[in-house]
Structure 1
Amino acid sequence: MTLETTGTLPVTELAAGAIRHHYDVGDEFFRLWLDSSLTYSCALRETAGDTLEAAQERKLQYHLDAIDATDAEAVLDIGCGWGALLRRLTGTHRVQRAVGLTLSERQAAYVAAEDYPGVEVLLESWTDYEPDTRFDGIVSIGAFEHFARPDDSPEEKIGVYRHFFTRCREWLTPAGALSLQTIAYANMSRDDASSFMQQEIFPDADLPTLAEITAAADGLFEVRSMHNARLDYAWTCEQWARRLRARREVAVALVGSEVVARYERYLKLSALGFRMGKIGLLRLVLVPYANGHFTR
């Protein structure tokens, strides 16, 4: 298990600072209201009686199945968080090499300290990453939302996303797959988005639309499957909010009442946005084209 950093962060300091603004509040704060695996993304709910832990485990397994992790030798996790997927790749599926990319210093340090066998975590962006081998699968959960900036035009956003898809296709083996999960604008435009969310929660980030994603992937990847799980995310945010309320006193002692209030408002607005269909949660499985033909 290794942790490496580049000499300079591979995106602007502004963008890296925005990542730290949200994700580096403190591991113990997030531990109060996330599930035990510290999975900070939309769960996959199947029954009314699902626990958050079971739904998060099902979500991770969905992405592992999407890239056929059982037969993979090397997998890349772009936006690896606290390493829940990395741990399953090498521990459960016996993947020989699992590489995680993150811009959060706290998350990178956490994964490194866990010392998972076969896992390498890099404090690095996909924009600068240069792998020394190809991957049988690539997973990216909850990172895509941070690639474009609010002042990018639609054409510039598509250009950023196409650069991402181009790099992923170059990094994949011919039979590899990319499993992508991202929040996206749905029945709402950028201009209608909450200024609180844009400035206080995810500064210098802008959501994609499904049309922008498919335009960027055109000719590079086939969209093998796509699911909109917005109601799953509404439920996930509600579960997180309930847990945070239950431990609010401890949370305030850790990070202060202002930070706790900010996250409570963020979770409430997010759940409402997903339930109303203003934003969606897309899970896409993409396989690369090669010489004009599908590769699998």
Structure 2
Amino acid sequence: MVATDTGRIETDTGRTDAAAAAIRHHYDIGNDFYRLWLDPTLSYSCALREQPDDTLEVAQERKLRHHLDAIDAGRARAVLDIGCGWGALLDRLSNRHGVARSVGLTLSPEQAEYVRAQHYPGVEVRVEDWLHYRPAERFDGIVSIGAFEHFARPDDGPAEKIRVYREFFTRCRDWLTPDGALSLQTIAYANMSAAQADTFMQREIFPDAELPTLAEITAAADGLFEICAITNGRLDYAWTCTEWARRLRAERAAATALVGPDAVARYARYLKLSAMGFRMGKLTLFRLVLRPYRSEYFAGRGTVIA
């Protein structure tokens, strides 16, 4: 358990149940629906756009390479993907980098079933919350893309959010080898407070989810991880959501046949509002590369840990 007191355990069990229900609400609408408007890798997170003529496919592949490079996947023997989605990163770890052991965590049974059906060598996917996961061995790298947004709940105050995030960072530090790395990608509040968040998004799209702020992330990681790199992909996400919306419009008839007109309208509205929020600077997207504060890591690197 994450704590010894009964109240804390009950709180985190309830948190896990709420997160799982929220994930199923959003992601288990059906793989075929998402396949209509995502890229072929089924990457449902911000792409990394560098050129004006980038396609969504190119930008999503670049995003995956960013995270693989951040953990030095070419030398990794074991990697953990927290919030693995439909397994695009797991595919590349297995088939391009030859990583012997990759574990993906998801709360969506539909996603897990899809990944298992691909039979990627060395890949294990688990329908399990990171709060309950107990690995037997350490990992050379941990990647988490688009999951951090689901760790806190709307009724959490800043102190409780930081507690949850710190629990996550503590576990990641303990799960990493001494020279391992964590590559984290998350949406965050920018020029907007939680009280100003659109109720439609919280009620209809991501129930029981709450975004972090950069201050909360850094406070939670303080003393556990060195933040080696941080980039802002706000405009990348505005563009990504616009591309998704365009593709959904083009496939409206097929999407409606799959999930019905109400669901299609709900997703179209959500993508439009998201693109607007990122473009206006109300929301942002952070990519962080973090390394654990350990004497082994800093030995010989000009820093002395007392």
Amino acid at match of 1:133: E
Hey, what does 2:177 align to over in structure 1? 173
Contact map agreement 1:10 1:127 (CA 8 A) in 2: no
Are positions 1:159 and 2:175 aligned together?
no
Amino acid at match of 1:57: E
Residue 229 in 1 paired to residue 243 in 2?
no
Contact 2:154–2:210 (CA under 8 A) maintained in structure 1: yes
**How far apart, in 2, do the equivalents of 1:117 and 1:11 lie?**
33
The structure 2 residue matched to 1:279, chosen from 274, 280, 283, is 283
Q: Hey, what's the Cα distance between the residues in 1 that align with 2:214 and 2:125?
A: 30
Shift of 1:290: 1.2
Structure 1 residue 51, shift from structure 2 partner: 0.6
Q: Counterpart in 1 of 2:223?
A: 219
2:101 corresponding residue in structure 1: 97
Residues 223 and 285 in structure 1, CA contact (< 8 A), matched pair in contact too: yes
SS in 2 for 1:100: strand
- Partner residue of 1:141? 145
Q: Which residue of 1 aligns with 2:190?
A: 186
Inter-CA distance 189–104: structure 2 relative to 1 (3 Å threshold): same
| Letter aligned with residue 249 of structure 1 | A
For residues 90-109 of structure 1, the C-alpha deviation after alignment (integer angstroms, 9 at most, x for no partner) is 10011100000000010000
Normalised TM-score (structure 2): 0.92
Q: Secondary structure at the match of 1:126?
A: coil
- Which residue does 1:55 correspond to in 2? 59
Q: Do the aligned partners of residues 240 and 190 (structure 1) sit closer, same or farther apart at CA in structure 2, a change above 3 Å counting?
A: same
Mapped to 2, the partners of 1:19 and 1:43 lie a distance apart of 21
The residue that corresponds to 1:5 in the other structure is: none
- In the TM superposition, 1:256-295 aligns within 5 A as 256-291=260-295, 294=298
**Residues 1:193 and 1:292: Cα distance change in structure 2 (over 3 Å):** farther
Question: Alpha-carbon deviations, 1:108-156, whole Å to 9, x = none?
Answer: 0000111111100000010010001100000000000000000011000
Contact 2:16 2:129 in 1 (8 A): no
8 A contact 2:178–2:297 mirrored in 1: no
User: How high is the sequence identity, in percent, across the aligned residues?
Assistant: 72
**TM-score, normalising length: structure 1:** 0.95
Residue of structure 1 equivalent to 2:122: 118
Question: How many Å separate the matches in 2 of 1:17 and 1:226?
Answer: 31
| CA deviation after TM superposition for structure 1 residue 181, in Å | 0.1
> Please, which of 94, 106, 111 is the counterpart of residue 107 of structure 1?
111
- The letter for the 2-side match of 1:195 is T
- Aligned equivalent of 2:27: 23
Q: Which residue of 2 aligns with 1:39?
A: 43
| 5+ long unaligned stretches in structure 2 | 1-12, 302-306
Q: Hey, what does 1:3 align to over in structure 2? A: none
Q: 2:70 aligns with which of 42, 66, 70?
A: 66
How far does residue 291 in structure 1 lie from its aligned partner after superposition? 4.6
User: Take 2:28 and 2:221, find their aligned partners in 1: how far apart are those partners?
Assistant: 31
Q: What letter corresponds to residue 75 of structure 1 in structure 2? A: V
Q: Is the aligned partner of 1:241 residue 2:245?
A: yes
Equivalents in 2 of 1:12, 1:289: separation in Å?
A: 28
Greater than 6 Å deviation, 4+ residue runs: none
